[in-house]
Structure formats: structure tokens, C-alpha cells
Amino acid sequence: MTPKGFQFSTVEAAIKKPGRKDLALIWSDVPAIASAVFTTNAVKAAPVLLSQERMRGGRCQALVVNSGNANACTGAKGMADARETSRILALELGIEEQLLQVSSTGVIGVPLPMDRLTAALPALAAGRGDATLDDLAAAIMTTDTFPKTAVRNGPGYIIAGTSKGAGMIMPNMATMLAYIMTDAAVDPGFLNSCFRAAVDRSFNAITIDGDTSTNDTCLMMANGVAGNPVITGGTPEAEEFVRLLEGVLLDLAKLIVKDGEGATKFVEIRITGAADDADAKRAALAVANSSLVKTAFFGQDANWGRIFAAVGYSGARVNPDLLSLWFDEVQMAKNGLFAGGDAEARGTEALRRKEFAVTVEMGLGTGCATVFTCDLSHEYVSINADYRT
């Protein structure tokens, strides 16, 4: 289902190569309040810089996104191309440029093929309503193997979203794009705060390869077309909205990890008993990003020592004698030592599952964190060795 007042359009612009739709539009029938989170990378793509500038107004009515080319590291021409795309499409849509957001994803350092892109913009504008949420999700893919969407039905409103990403994924906004839409009427301040909190618990809690992209964008629009009373913070309606919003974002974030480049395993890293939540997050990310740990997951090697090593260098406060570890229900280590018995064989069996959890109890306090990651396979190297060819 799609929230009321939103329409989608997709066309082929042959941005990287012909044969697929690679240019997409999200359109709201009325200007929507909006919130967005962008990459923390100091090297930001032109569309990110333009969108950051425009998001200061807190409103958005349309968003155009192309796949196949990131328009990053393209200098003054890249910014001029982003603005020209915006200018032409805003005229076609009949809206102020300030209400139009621009996103790109794909190869870095290559100028956009503006002749092909701009030629496709009139058809993109005219095609509003011709595409579905699934069509939109497919058009923004790069190395993704399947389109990613999520929907939640609220009391009289809908929250829906799509995301793309399979590689160059690391928290602090990861080449990840995500767009969330709702027809609910929401107080702008509340939307901004709950959206950013939901991003921290979802998209900022995933990692595939530890690389933070130049183009990461997560943007939410709420157009109020559902006609519900405005949702404000501190109310039962707000609690329900947050629950639904976090469900959509977490679904999309997990789909990105499950579609990680070359991934064969989906792994939940849980840290408990840390000195505080910040330390727990440091330890979880160190484990989730460790190449040695991730290759052990791929090889189904119950090498728990690599995990303790990652926790040890994470920067979190650690007492080695208090560390314990489980693969799903199998305890591999207790108080810093191998648990003994048949733990090795049972732990190996746990790692043969497509999805499993790694839990590390640090024994220092009440801090906890969860991060989602995948294994590191031969295929990841193959995909990224040939990405530009």
C-alpha cells in the first residue's frame, strides 16, 4: 500500500548503461514537512550538499534520484549538474526548486551524462502515478540483488519506505539511500526528533564493509493527507507512530544487510553488560567490522577468540576476565576462557545457519547495543574488483 497523496514515476535515462529504469521520482500532491539525515563523510556528493542546503526549510514536495552515477568528486560541474537537473524538473512539475530534493548513487568521480538525464526529465514528470513503490525501489538499485520496501499501517495513516544499498555500508549514514513517506499529519519538531532517533536505531546500526559513502541520504516526508489530528510528542498517538516508524526503518536496514555484497550470513551482534551504551556500541561495531571475524563467519569457523580481540581493541572499557560469549544459544566462552565440552562442535553448527546472533557479555554494567552485519565472502571481492567495468 502507498500513503495517500504520494505518486511515483520511473524512466530509463541510460545513465550508466541502457536496458533498465534508472531515474525515479517521488511526488507529494502537497508540500510535506520533511526531515533528513546525510552522510558524515567529509567528501560529500553534489546532490547531498544541495539537499542539505534545501532541507533547512523543512519542507519537500518532490525528490528525484538517479542510479548508476553518484555525481560525487565531480567539482563545480557536479554541483551545476545537480542544480540544472533540479531547475528543469521543478519547471516540469510546476513547483519551487526549494521543494525539490536531488539524490544520486553509483560510480564516484564520473560526470553525469546530462544530455541523457535531462532528456528523460519531461517523461519522468509526466509519468507521476505510473509506477509503484516496488518500481521505485528497483530503479534506485546499483549492486543490490532485489528491491527493498517496507510498509506499516497505522490508525488512519500509512508509513511506507524504500531503501537501496549492498556495499559501502557503515553506520553514520552508509552507498545507502532511503526514502520514507507517510500521509499522517505530524508536528514538525516531533517528526524531526523521532525520525533521527529511529535512524540511529536502524540505519546507523548496520555495517557491511565499514565504508561510509559520499552519498548517504535518509529522508522522510509527511504530507498530512490522511487528515488525522496532528501527532505531537508525549502522547499515546506519538508512541504508536514511533513504533511503526521504527518498524519500517529497521525492516529496510535489515534488508540492506541481508543483501550485502556477496553475503551468505545475516548476523546480529549483541553487546550486553558494557560500562555504558556508548561503549557497547563501540564494541559491537568493532566486532561487526572485523575482517577476521567476518571471514570466520563465512567459513563457519567458531573462532570466538577473534571476537574477544575485536572487543579488546574497540576502545570500550574491558576486563578480559569477565567476558563471556554465545553463538545463538551455545556458550563458547565464560569469564574470558573457552567454555569447554562440546562447545566447539555446537558453535560450528550454529554458524552454519543463514541467520544467527553473537552475544558478548562484558560484565561491567548495564550498557547494551545491537548491530547488524554479514559475513565477508570471496564474492564481495569479485563484485568490488569489477565494479566500474
CB 356 within 8 A of CB 327: yes
Last residue of a domain, one of 232, 256, 280: 256
- In this structure, the number of other CB atoms found within 10 A of the CB of residue 71 comes to 32
Query: Average per-residue pLDDT in the chain?
Result: 93
pTM score of the predicted model: 0.87
Note the pLDDT of residue 388. 54
CATH of the domain at 100: 3.60.70.12
Last residue of a domain, one of 206, 232, 256: 256
User: Are residues 330 and 191 located together in one domain of the fold?
Assistant: no
Distance between CA atoms of 235 and 185, rounded to whole angstroms? 14
User: Are residues 68 and 194 located together in one domain of the fold?
Assistant: yes
User: Are residues 126 and 213 located together in one domain of the fold?
Assistant: yes
* Stretch 101-127: mean pLDDT: 95
Note whether residue 364 is domain-resident: yes
Q: How many residues does the chain have?
A: 389
User: Are residues 222 and 347 located together in one domain of the fold?
Assistant: no
Over residues 130-153, the pLDDT tens digits come to 999 999 999 999 888 899 999 999
Note whether residue 1 is domain-resident: no
**Range in 122-136, 255-269, 276-290, 360-374 with the lowest mean pLDDT:** 255-269
User: Are residues 152 and 71 located together in one domain of the fold?
Assistant: yes
* Total number of domains constituting the chain: 2
User: Are residues 184 and 239 located together in one domain of the fold?
Assistant: yes
CATH of the domain at 328: 3.10.20.340
- In this structure, the number of other CB atoms found within 10 A of the CB of residue 342 comes to 10
* Stretch 271-285: mean pLDDT: 97
Distance between CA atoms of 40 and 48, rounded to whole angstroms? 11
Last residue of a domain, one of 256, 291, 311: 256
Quickly tell me which residue has 565499514 as its cell. Answer: 210
User: Are residues 81 and 169 located together in one domain of the fold?
Assistant: yes
- Sort 85 into a burial class: Cβ within 10 Å, 0-12 / 13-18 / 19+: buried
Output phi, psi for 64, to 5 deg: -115, 135
Cβ neighbours for 158, distance < 8 A, ≥ 6 positions apart: 1, 2, 3, 4, 151, 152, 182, 183, 184, 226
Bridge partners of 359, per DSSP, are: 270, 326
Over residues 293-347, the pLDDT tens digits come to 999 999 999 999 999 999 999 999 999 999 999 999 999 999 999 999 999 999 9
Assess whether pLDDT exceeds 90 at residue 383.
no
Quickly tell me which residue has 544487510 as its cell. Answer: 257
Residue 131 backbone zone (phi > 0: left; psi -120 to 50: alpha; other: beta): beta
Pairing between β-strand 330-334 and β-strand 367-374 as defined by DSSP bridges: unpaired
> What are the residue numbers of the active site?
175
Quickly tell me which residue has 521520482 as its cell. Answer: 25
Quickly tell me which residue has 514537512 as its cell. Answer: 33
User: Are residues 228 and 249 located together in one domain of the fold?
Assistant: yes
Better pLDDT: 122 or 167: 122
The beta strand positions in 45-109, using DSSP E, are 59-69, 100-107
Over residues 197-231, the pLDDT tens digits come to 999 889 888 886 655 678 889 999 999 999 999 99
Boundaries of domain holding 197 = 6-256
**Range in 39-53, 209-223, 265-279, 338-352 with the lowest mean pLDDT:** 209-223
- Sort 388 into a burial class: Cβ within 10 Å, 0-12 / 13-18 / 19+: exposed
Quickly tell me which residue has 567476558 as its cell. Answer: 323
148: which DSSP letter? E
Grid coordinates given for 77: 560541474
Note the pLDDT of residue 174. 42
Grid coordinates given for 204: 546507523
* Stretch 242-271: mean pLDDT: 92
